[in-house]
Structures are given as structure tokens and as C-alpha cells.
Structure 1
Amino acid sequence: MNEAPAQASDNSEKFWLASYPSSVPPEIPALSYRSLGELFESCCVEYLPRVAFSSMGREMTYRELEVETRKVGAWLQAQGLEKGDRVAVMMPNVLQNPVVTYAILRAGFVVVNVNPLYTPRELEHQLKDAGAKAIFVLENFAHTVQQVAAEVGLRHIVVTAMGDMLGMKGHIVNLVVRKVKKLVPAWSIPSAIPFKKVLTEGSHLPLKPVDIDSNDVAFLQYTGGTTGVSKGAALTHANLIANKMQISMWLEAAFENRPRPEVLTFVCALPLYHIFALTVNSLMGVAMGGHNILIANPRDIPAFVKELQKHKVHVFPGLNTLFNAMMNNADFGKIDFSSLILALGGGMAVQRPVAERWQALTGTAITEGYGLSETSPVATANRFDTQEFTGMIGLPLPSTEISIRDEDGKPLPLGEVGEICIRGPQVMAGYWQRPDETAKVMTDDGFFRSGDMGYMDERGYTKIVDRKKDMILVSGFNVYPNEVEEVAAMHPGVLECAAVGVPDPHSGEAVKLFVVKKDPALTEHDVREHCAANLTGYKRPRLIEFRNELPKSNVGKILRRELRG
């Protein structure tokens, strides 16, 4: 090819389709279901005897899942809630989470996913903004709900305990959680309803059919607030069904090199309230009749590794920090990864040193994908039949367009860095009750402005270089923190690192690098020498600070903004 094609716009050819696996079509077909509830019910009938979710040794089949969601959905309808009312779910990865989530969807309501570690201030904002009428909360976090209950207008507060769906073993689990580990702070909500009472009452009630349109809102998925106040991305049934279809079609290429198992087993370590796990684990897992191994606390790496030793897993979605932490556990080598077909990296950039080490230890490459809460979430992914780490975020999924644009919203030539903009059936309906904020991120021709900076190459692969606001400007030169961090992470003495811009009287900004040591003997001089050998002058860290740990979100994403402050 003598001349690179112009960046994709309305009328330009989707040249990236030439890079697609032969098994993946360019477009998804018409949606075969009008709602997620309809999709769920169909899957439960098809996969009745299979295990859908397991937690702490307890397995729940699709048959049981259908029965339990029917009870909860019927109970919710009996409380006088109306179609489209918002119901919050504030739980980690326990069996109650998918049960409640699918019950809400089947009953015609909207799921509001809540991070259980939210402070009262954060929780109050989200519940008020969503106008939530009810909440299901794990008792470990009921004290937070207690502090805001009077302010947010909740009509129903359902409290569940860790062991509520674990059978006889549940009594022991609850005792250990409450009395031995003391993980349940004191709380008092007089109007609270025990989850088991909901199941009992719901078993005597009918689940009434609800006419749900594919354009009705299914989830309010709140953004992390990294670009300002936390906003609810209104994701429709069509958005999520489309993204499930896109990922499922993309997955076909993974079976080019490895045989397709009869039942796919997923590791579900990322929290289900996060859009990545919600779509890739829960929605796609259920749609394919898969088995999701729920990990309630992935931060307990020793327990997590021990749990994985009991299973043969096929699909492992994770973050760079999770993969890195696992490999630094002494028992990691005891996990049998011979069945692993796909390790999916998302949420943050996967660093090459981490990816290369993972492949050496497991025999499977980490395949990066990219998306946001606003895109349900997956917009691009590397080919699933690849056996190498690319350092790119991949190709647009079927029915998806990526356009790299300048500050004025004009498409840029291939190879030039601009804002990554996304158009496709997975793009949200808008921010909940925020037409002003929606207008800021949507272009006139229907592209969502991601706020991430990147470029597209002549094959159609996109490379993300950073968020706009994370970019560091040193004497007029752009420095992307991801590049600095990736280089620093290559040093064998570095466990984790993060780069931020700090004010500098001479260059406007300078690069500051925060480092967590893997080797206690690592010195500032060692880091400087390593960076000097791999980075041009203006990109090198001017300041280096050692820390025992770096601030992270509950998903495990390093929070640069806290280091900056």
C-alpha cells in the first residue's frame, strides 16, 4: 500500500476489516432478544443442569438461578415498584449478586451497581442521582447505608449475609465473618428486610411479565468520577445485548488454536459491579452457558491463588495489577493453566514486562481490549487467536467504528495522536438526567469522545497513549505516563510504579515517578540509570519517590490523581 488510508469517518472504508480473523464477520446480526431478562430466561432453559456460578465451594446451576431470580423479582414487583424504577446492588462477588441483578432485570426494573467500599458521601450522591427506590446490600456494608438511608429516599433496604446462599455451610461462614474475622461493623436499620425473608415471600408470588423495549434502560453504570462528578451511564438492553454479541463473535477466533470446551469456565475476580466483569463474565458467561467462579476478595491473593488451584479455567479477565500481584505469589506456579484459552487485559494499560512474564509462566498471552462504562464496555480488542502481546488495544469490534479526532472534532490522519472516539450499538443512551454532560461527549455524527488519547495504524490497530488530563507537558513536549511506567516496570527491582506531572519552574512540568520496590536494595540511582538508558531526556523522571504501596481503586487501577495531589 503506497498511501495510508484516511482515518475512518462516515463514508470511509472500514479498512481494519482486512485485519479481522476469518471467523469473525464485520457486523453483528439483528438482536435476537428484546431484553436481558428474555435472554437470561432463554439461557436458563437451554443450560438447566449446568453450573452457572460457584462461590466458596457452593455451585448454583442455571435451574437454581432461574428459580431464585424468579423469587426475588416477584417480591420486588409486589412492593409496588413500577417499570423502570431503579434498584441498587451493593455487594461483592457473592452468589446473591447475580441472583439479584437478573431478578431486577426480569422484573422490569433498572440495576444501579454500587461499589461496596463507597464512603457515605459517595453512596449518597449515587443513590440520590439515580433516584433508587430499593437497595440490596451485604451486611458488611450496611453501616454505610445506615448513615445515608434517611437522606436518599429508599423505600426498601434488603440486607444479606455472606453465607445466605451457601446452604448449611453458610451458618459457619456467617459466624466466621461476623465473630472471628469481625468483618461486619455494627449497624442498625429498623426497616431492613433480611434477604432470606425476600426469598421465602417471593416463592409464593407470581413474577408478572413486563413489556420491555430494547431501548429501555437496563443499568445505570456510574463512572469512577475521574473526569469530574460521578455520572450514571444509561445503558440500554440493546447496548448490552449488542456488546455481548460482539464479544461472543470475537471469541470465536480463540478456538482457532485451541479446542472449544463443552463448558467455558470463567474466573470472575473483577467485581461484578464493574462494567468489565458485568459484561464479559456475567452477561457473556450466562449467554454461553458458562461457569463463573466468583472471587469475593481478589485482594487476598493467597486465598485467590489457592481457589484457582481447584479449577481448570478457560477465560481469565483481569487487570495489569491483578496479573502482576498473582505472579508475585509463591504458590502461583501450582495453578494448572493448561486449559487457559484467553487471558483478557482491560481497565488499564497492560505493561509489557507483566505480559511477557505472564506468557512465560502460563503459556498464554494477555490479550488487551479497551472500552469504558459508556460503551458497555468493549469497543476494541486484539485478535483472540494471537499468541503474542501487542501493546495495542486492538481492532474495532464488529459494528464498531473508531475515529481519532483533534480538539475540533476533525478526523486525523493515521499515525497521529488524537482523542479516541467510538461509534457503535454498544454506546450508551447518554448520562442519566445530564443532557449537558451527554452533549459534551457526543459528536454531531454520533461518536462518543472517550477522553483517551491514541492513534490508529495502517492495519486498523489502535494504541492508547493516555487520558488527556494525565498527559505531562515538559517544555512543550508531550510525555505520556504509560510510556514512562512501562519502561520503569522493566527494571527487575521494580514491583509497581506510577508517573505523574508536577509543576516545574523551568519546564512547566516535570515527570515524577512513584516506585514500589520488589528488590529492597533498589536505589534511586538504579532507577535513574535504567530510565536514562530507555527514555529520551525530557521523558526521564526528574523526581523519584519510593512508596510501600500505591493508591488504587477497588478494581485495582492505580489512581494517579491521588499521587498528583
Structure 2
Amino acid sequence: MEKSWLKSYDSRVPQTINPDNYSSVVDIFEQSVKTYADSISYINLGKSITFSELEKHVTHFAAYLQNSGLKKGDAVAIMMPNLLQYPVALFGILRAGMVVVNVNPQYTARELKHQINDSNAKAIIIVENFACTLSEVIEDTSIETVLLTRIGDMLGVPKKWLTNFVVKYVKKMVPGYSLPKAIPFMDALKQGANQTYLRPEINGDDIAFLQYTGGTTGVSKGAMLTHRNMVANLEQASAILNTVTEANKELVVTALPLYHIFALQANCLLFLKLGCANLLITNPRDMAGFVSELGKYPFTVLTGVNTLFNGLLNTPSFTELDFSNVKFSLGGGMAVQRAVAERWYKLTGHVLLEGYGLTECSPIVSVNPPQLEQYNGSIGLPLPSTDIRLVDDDGVDVKEGEPGEMLVKGPQVMLGYLNRPEATEEIMKDGWLATGDIARCDENGYFYIVDRKKDMILVSGFNVFPNEIEEVAVMHEDIVEVAAVGIPHEASGEVVKLFAVRRNDNLSEQDVIDHCRKHLTGYKVPKKVEFRDELPKSNVGKILRRELRDEK
């Protein structure tokens, strides 16, 4: 496939990057904490720490890990929301030459047990609020060391004491648990301060992260992301975003959890590399509290998923914020809906940029340029040193403008799935990674996701893509969010069913069907509409169509 996207690159963006510009993520960390020592690195719950303070904590934690019986290459799990403890744990693990295993704090005991044992994690850093889950299964896992922290532990006194007291005894957010051998995280940092840290030799081929797929299309698998993968993707993203960002000048809002690959790369690592401040939001589901926090800081960048932006737009106090410092907003993880993007632009005066990625690609594959003047419905242009093909069911390249499955090649593509050679072989062939997404490319090299291959609805032999139905449905002023799925039908094989959250209880099923009929051809119009108070979502707010489709 001809790289038609290169002609649409900004003149300042190189066509290729050097994935070996740094030997590891640790190199980037060490350079940034030295260069920007006195600048703010992270802010959380009103407390900020500088890059030099971050470096001190990280060194102490790395020393502790190295002296606790763990060795280079061992897997260490992190199970916590966005707190100051997260970057300390993350970079401490990497700096000790070990492998980070990010765990969703909302996991059930069964899910946690699977991920720990699949990754063979030897240690875990966990917030006390979720310790009850670990206590249920720890005896049946590979975990040897438990490091326990509390939400307020790094906030300084007296705020630390007050926060931890309120969380545990007033809000009763800490269920009972039994982990008698657990070591307080802050004690580990104190011990590390008196221990020797020896910098291990870390190269690009070493695994940095075992990042588990969401499991929305099957069993959760550990994508082996090397230091070279992560460095490459940082260099690729930097090449695009450096046309608008300034080193040591930005403040990025991190509402998506850092244990998710999107926020991990696009927020945590990218803005650390730039020497910029990260505002960590611990509980973005509390929209009023989230907006209140935003009002305290002159933020310049905001990343999120469609449901997060939609939630902000539906929070009255959000309209009162000052958006004059914003340089760009970036959406990923799921399709950005036109109705949301247009409302966002009308309120903030800034285009909601859409990007595309997947865990297996570290994760960014493409992004719209920050200079975009209006929302265009595309996932943008492939990053430098990234190649894309669109193929039919026989693996043959489709003609320009036609939809096909998107295959990706580039230095950000994972090493493979941990201990799953068959699954790796199924998704990676001849250096190309099959994304499972159906896309098309226009004459200027902009890619458009048509839909997930597995989510496609087949009505009387016609392919119906859920994204299209959902885009139309949310154009109705009384609809907040929707999900379209296929359900069995005797005559046509499948018909479209729409699950919707409404603003107005007077909105009827027929109202929605009539609205869709105005904008869709007959076979695409939903035959059934079911109203829900909320739709099932993943840990980052991505609507889970599969759960709705699989309901009995």
C-alpha cells in the first residue's frame, strides 16, 4: 500500500524515527529527572512533587526491590488508581531492571488470580482498598511479597492522616482483609533509603511491561512490550505532538487510569519525557469533583475516551472552566462520536483530536495532527516509521477507499503474547499485526475505522457497522450514550438492537426508531430499543458491546 499519508505530514514531522535513540525507558527517566529537577512532575489530591523528589523516591524503591530477593527480569504487579505512589512504583520497578504488570484495581479475585499467575508476578504493590480481593487468592498465586499502601500515604502530614482516616473509617472504603505478611509501601521506601541501588544493564530487547489486553474478545493475554517498543512509540508520538507542545511548559490532565496503556504512554511517559507536569485524577467518575479539580490548574492538554468527554460536557460546572490555556484534547480507546466532538469544539474552542492504538502496539498507531481545524471523523495519519495495509478476507490489499482489515507494522509492535505462541501466530504474520479492525483510507492518507471485525452485524447479507448506528442515535438530543449489537432473527439472520441511556424519560422506543430511520437505510435501522440507566464499561470507560450481546 502506497504511503499516501506522508504527503499530509506537517513539514516539521519526520517520516521515520530512531527507535534506538534511547536504550531504555529508564534512560528517558534518568535524563528527565536530571534536566527538570526543580520542576513539578506529578500533582495529586492537592499535593505536588518535583522531578528531583520523584527521582529520590524511585531510587529508594528500586534499591528496596533489588535487596528484597527479587532479581532483574522478575515481574512486579501494580494494583492502584492514579496516586502519587503509582509513578514511584512504576519507575522503581523499571529502574530495578524488573517488569511492570499493570492490574486493574476493579478486578475480581478470579481475574486477579489469572493475571498474577499468567505473568508469574513475584511481588505486588496494592492500595489497601483492594487488598480484600488479593487476600482471597494470594495463597494460590506466585506472589511472594505484598507492599501495601493507602490513598493518602504520600500527601504529607497532617493531610495523610486525615485522608486515610476518612477513607477507612468515615467513607468505609476499605473492606476487611487478611494479609499478615504485607509490608507498608512507605516502610519499603524508608528501608530503600538505607540500601544500595545498583543500576542494572537494561537494553531495548528487555521486556518493560507485561500489559494485559482488556479481555473483551476472549481471555486476557499479556502483551510483551519491550523497552525498544515503548521508546519507539514515545519517539513517534513526540514527533507529531512536538509541533505544538513545549518542553517543561505543559500541564496534562490524567483522568484515565495509568494502568491502562493509553494513559501510561500518552500521559505518564510522554509528558515525563517532555519534563511536564501530570495532574493525576484519582476518581474521574466523580464528575463534579473532577471538574472542581480542573478549575484549580491552568491545564494545557486533556486526554480521555469518548465517554469521559461526554460526561464532562454533561456536567454543568464544566462550562464555567477557563479553556484559554488548552493546546489540544486527545481521544482514544474507543471511537470519538461526532456529536460529542462538535459539542466539545463549541464549548472549548478546540478540536477533539482522535487517535488510534491497541495494547499490542504500545499502543499508538495513528493520530490526527494537532493543527487539525475541525473534527473529521478519522483516526488520523499513521505515526512516523509506521506502515499500514488494508486487506480483504483473503489477505489481499483492497483498492483505495475500500474497507479492509487493518494490518500494522512498526517498531512499536509487541514482541508477542506471553506463553501464548498460538495466539501470537494468529495475530502476527510476516511482521504484520492484524488489528481485527475494519478501516478505509482516503486519498490524503487519513484512516477511518469502520468497525471492529468481531462486532459487525450481518443483516440479510449486508454488513452493518455498530459505530454508524451509534453515531446517528446520539444525534438525538435526549440520548446520552448508546451501544448497537446484533441479535438473532429468523428471516434476516440478525437485526440491530440498540441499548440507550436517555436524558428524558418520555423518550420512547418508537421515537428512537423514527429518529434513526431519518438518517439510515432500512436494514440498518434498529428493530428494538432497550433503555438502561447505564451501559457496561471497561476500566477506562469503553462501552462493552459484547456483554450486552451475550446477555440471555
- 1:250 match: 240
Maintained 8 Å contact 1:454/1:466: yes
- 1:3 match: none
Maintained 8 Å contact 1:495/1:516: yes
Q: Which runs of 4 or more aligned residues in structure 1 lie more than 4 Å from their structure 2 counterparts after TM superposition?
A: none
Distance 1:466 1:399 in 2: 24
* Mapped pair 1:219 → 2:175: no
- CA spacing shift, 1:30–1:443, aligned 2, 3 Å: closer
Shift of 1:318: 0.6
Q: Could you tell me the TM-score, scaled by structure 2's length?
A: 0.98
Distance 1:520 1:253 in 2: 46
Q: Deviations over 1:543-565 (max 9, x none)?
A: 01111111111210111111112
Q: Deviations over 1:365-418 (max 9, x none)?
A: 100000000000000111111121110111110000111112232221111111
* Equivalent position to 2:272, from 262, 267, 286: 286
Shift of 1:302: 0.6
Shift of 1:520: 2.4
* Mapped pair 1:37 → 2:29: no
Once structures 1 and 2 are overlaid, which stretch shifts more, 505-514 or 518-527?
518-527
- 1:277 match: 263
Distance 1:262 1:230 in 2: 37
Aligned amino acid, residue 359 of structure 2: S
Q: Could you tell me the TM-score, scaled by structure 1's length?
A: 0.96
- 2:485 match: 500
* Equivalent position to 1:433, from 385, 408, 419: 419
- 1:472 match: 457
Aligned amino acid, residue 550 of structure 1: L
* Mapped pair 1:535 → 2:520: yes
Shift of 1:524: 1.7
Maintained 8 Å contact 1:28/1:398: yes
- 1:342 match: 328
Q: Deviations over 1:299-357 (max 9, x none)?
A: 11010000000011111111100000111111011211111111001000000000000
* Equivalent position to 1:152, from 122, 128, 141: 141
Aligned amino acid, residue 96 of structure 1: Q
* Mapped pair 1:558 → 2:543: yes
Q: Deviations over 1:201-232 (max 9, x none)?
A: 00001111101111110000000112211000
Distance 1:404 1:338 in 2: 40
Aligned amino acid, residue 60 of structure 1: I
Maintained 8 Å contact 2:252/2:277: yes
Aligned amino acid, residue 271 of structure 1: P
Maintained 8 Å contact 1:409/1:443: no
Distance 1:77 1:411 in 2: 50
Maintained 8 Å contact 2:355/2:367: yes
* Equivalent position to 1:415, from 398, 401, 408: 401
Aligned amino acid, residue 100 of structure 2: V
Aligned amino acid, residue 16 of structure 2: E
Shift of 1:15: 2.2
Distance 2:266 2:287 in 1: 22
Distance 2:71 2:542 in 1: 37
Aligned amino acid, residue 309 of structure 2: F
Distance 1:165 1:91 in 2: 14
* Mapped pair 1:309 → 2:307: no
User: Structure 1 regions of 5+ residues with no counterpart?
Assistant: 1-7
- 2:221 match: 231
Shift of 1:362: 0.5
Q: Deviations over 1:75-98 (max 9, x none)?
A: 000012111100000010000001
* Equivalent position to 1:66, from 55, 58, 61: 55
Q: Deviations over 1:21-47 (max 9, x none)?
A: 111110013522111112101110000
* Mapped pair 1:388 → 2:377: no
- 2:432 match: 447
Once structures 1 and 2 are overlaid, which stretch shifts more, 100-109 or 544-553?
544-553
Shift of 1:49: 0.4
Once structures 1 and 2 are overlaid, which stretch shifts more, 480-489 or 416-425?
416-425
Distance 1:69 1:102 in 2: 6
Aligned amino acid, residue 196 of structure 1: M
* Equivalent position to 2:444, from 453, 459, 479: 459
Distance 1:87 1:544 in 2: 45
Distance 1:328 1:424 in 2: 39
The alignment partner of 1:331 has SS state of helix
The alignment partner of 1:337 has SS state of coil
Identity score, percent: 52
- 1:192 match: 182
Aligned amino acid, residue 428 of structure 1: M
Maintained 8 Å contact 2:248/2:276: no
Distance 2:473 2:111 in 1: 34
Aligned amino acid, residue 521 of structure 1: N
* Equivalent position to 1:298, from 267, 284, 288: 284
- 1:28 match: 17
Distance 2:324 2:310 in 1: 19
Distance 1:70 1:252 in 2: 29
- 1:181 match: 171
* Mapped pair 1:333 → 2:323: no
Distance 2:362 2:300 in 1: 23
Maintained 8 Å contact 2:41/2:278: yes
Once structures 1 and 2 are overlaid, which stretch shifts more, 142-151 or 24-33?
24-33
* Equivalent position to 1:240, from 230, 249, 252: 230
* Mapped pair 1:203 → 2:193: yes
Maintained 8 Å contact 1:38/1:106: no
Distance 1:304 1:49 in 2: 27
Distance 2:87 2:388 in 1: 32
Structure 2 counterparts to residues 152-171 of structure 1, below 5 A: 152-168=141-157, 169-171=159-161
Shift of 1:262: 4.9
Maintained 8 Å contact 2:39/2:248: no
Aligned amino acid, residue 227 of structure 1: T
- 2:89 match: 100
- 1:322 match: 308
Shift of 1:242: 0.7
The alignment partner of 2:244 has SS state of helix
